[in-house]
Chain A
Amino acid sequence: MGYSEKLLDHYEKPRNVGSFAKDDDSVATGIVGAPACGDVMKLQIKVGKNGVIEDAKFKTYGCGSAIASSSLVTEWIKGKTLDQALEIKNASIATELALPPVKIHCSVLAEDAIKAAVADYRAKHGSGQSTEKSYPMCEPLV
């Protein structure tokens, strides 16, 4: 299976790997996926007082496409407001990394990780409803 250069670059030099301190109040965490499905993404966002995502970190258990998708979204969401971050759709992730059809679910998972992290932040800070969650199941979306 041939992967795009962008995907390989994110896989080989993943951006923003790691975890923030657990007790930091400005940090929210989204964990999506399941070990049994072969991918789990943990996305953390650090949100400033102005509601802008100042920093993001991830850890991912999964295939190369899952790792690259999470690495990419940490880059994309930095500097965005929560609402702007929620506008990132899986299709743009899939297009950017040229994911093969069988790997589209990795981009769905990355979109869900953003939703889950934002929902966690909003739940912690009591600002509005948590976002609707749509967790993918262990099946191809093709």
Chain B
Amino acid sequence: MPKLPIYLDYSATTPVDPRVAAKMIPYLTEEFGNPASRSHPFGWKAEQAVEEARAEVAALIGADAKEIVWTSGATESNNLALKGAAHFLRGKGRHLITLSTEHKAVLDVMRELEREGFDVTYLDVAANGLIDQERFVAALRPDTILASVMSVNNEIGVIQDIAALGDICRARGVLFHVDAAQATGKVDIDLSRLKVDLMSLSAHKTYGPKGVGALYVRRKPRVRLEAQIHGGGHERGMRSGTLATHQIVGMGEAFRIARLSMAAENEGIRSLRDRLLTGLSDLDAVTINGDLERRVPHNLNISFNFVEGESLMMSIKDIAVSSGSACTSASLEPSYVLRALGLPDELAHSSIRFTLGRWTTAEEVDFAIKQIKESIGRLREMSPLWEMHQDGIDVNSVQWAATDKPGEHHGL
């Protein structure tokens, strides 16, 4: 019997690796100096720790340490990248491109830029969650200044072809931003080869602490940003504010461990994910959401038809997962990512995201499979839709009294 509850929500956040926590603690108590203090050893030691961490973050993604700007997390990095670049390039053009399946930390920034007068194209993805390159090229305009595409999708784990999209952008003189919050430690990133200008990074998705992240800002060719936070001119003026030494040290150590262990770790996680998939695949009426091949090994997003996601999560209460069901949010709208794949609302309501990580065990996966199967059985026995399905009635052919017209209530 594994220790309960079981955590299968590693894409929401990860525990801090104990090695990371151990390295952070002295910077709270003993080495507490302000890295900006140039006049005494307290400051020098803190600065040295910050620079070592900067080098580690850069090393994981094939960048130069000078290209790393510390932030409070990927949300701030996305804000700095998109607003900073758009504001700087305002005179050159006003068109921006992104995907409809991006994280809200990109989409909401784009909405804000629209309010400021920018024009944003939200590209739809194919049914497998991937962007069609021809569609991307067709969206480019003479006044396009910036494109933003995530590396790994947070809900379905699919990996966009960043290399190809970067080539397209560079050839057209368009700045290319990549939200890599879900990618570090999961996919190989080599910015010495990729034509990416800006990349958002998060510590807490890669076994580092919450509250710290970074933005990669390319130096050759040089990318210029307008700062969004002023006051003191830290981080070469791009992001003012006293550096959180302990957080930064944690991110550096987390990214160092990721660089050294990711190859072997990902294979182990892949085999556990496949074990989970195999264990669940003999259930009737289940659908895998998103491309299964071009996907990080950590993610499995499944719709269990005729069972609502939140009630399934309540039922498997010893297992921590996420759902694309509306009932997990205040909006009552099911996941916009799953809807963008063309999934009918009822399958979006029935989806569960399993994300595995560094400490997931085969025993935990087996326990999860058993509990999910029992719950699906119980909830389907309770489901009028399952009853119809068993009676050979196509649920989609029924005229539902409360069916709303598409788009009427669910606007993004």
Contacts and interface: CB of A to CB of B under 8 A. Distances in A.
A13 to B, nearest CB: 11
A47 interface: no
B310 to A, nearest CB: 4
Given A36-B345, A37-B345, A64-B311, A138 B409 contact: yes
Contact of B327 (A38, A42, A135, A136): A38
A14 interface: yes
B349 interface: yes
Nearest to B403: A34
Contacts of B314: 3, 11, 63-64
A33 B383 CA distance: 13
Contacts, number: 110
Nearest to B349: A38
Contacts of A32: 401-402
Given A36-B344, A38-B334, A62 B401 contact: no
B346 A35 contact: yes
A35 B395 contact: yes
B325 A38 contact: yes
A140 B401 contact: no
Contact of B311 (A31, A41, A62): A62
B384 A41 contact: yes
Contacts of B263: none
Contacts of A40: 384-385, 400
A35 B345 contact: yes
Given A36-B345, A59-B384, A64-B310, A137 B327 contact: no
Given A35-B345, A42-B384, A63-B310, A140 B332 contact: yes
Secondary structure of the B contact surface, majority rule: loop
B308 A63 contact: yes
A38 B307 contact: no
Interface residues of B, number: 33
Given A40-B385, A61-B385, A137 B402 contact: yes
Contacts of A3: 314
A74 interface: no
> Which of B306, B326, B400, B402 has the most C-beta atoms of chain A within 10 angstroms of its own C-beta?
B402
Contacts of A66: 308, 311
Given A17-B381, A34-B402, A63-B327, A138 B332 contact: yes
Contacts of A140: 330-332
Nearest to A70: B382
25 contacts: A11-B311, A32-B402, A33-B401, A33-B402, A34-B404, A35-B345, A35-B400, A36-B344, A37-B332, A37-B345, A38-B308, A39-B308, A42-B384, A61-B308, A61-B384, A63-B311, A63-B314, A63-B325, A65-B327, A66-B311, A135-B402, A137-B409, A138-B404, A140-B330, A140-B332
Interface of B: 306-308, 310-311, 314, 325-327, 330-334, 344-346, 349, 381-387, 395, 400-404, 409-410
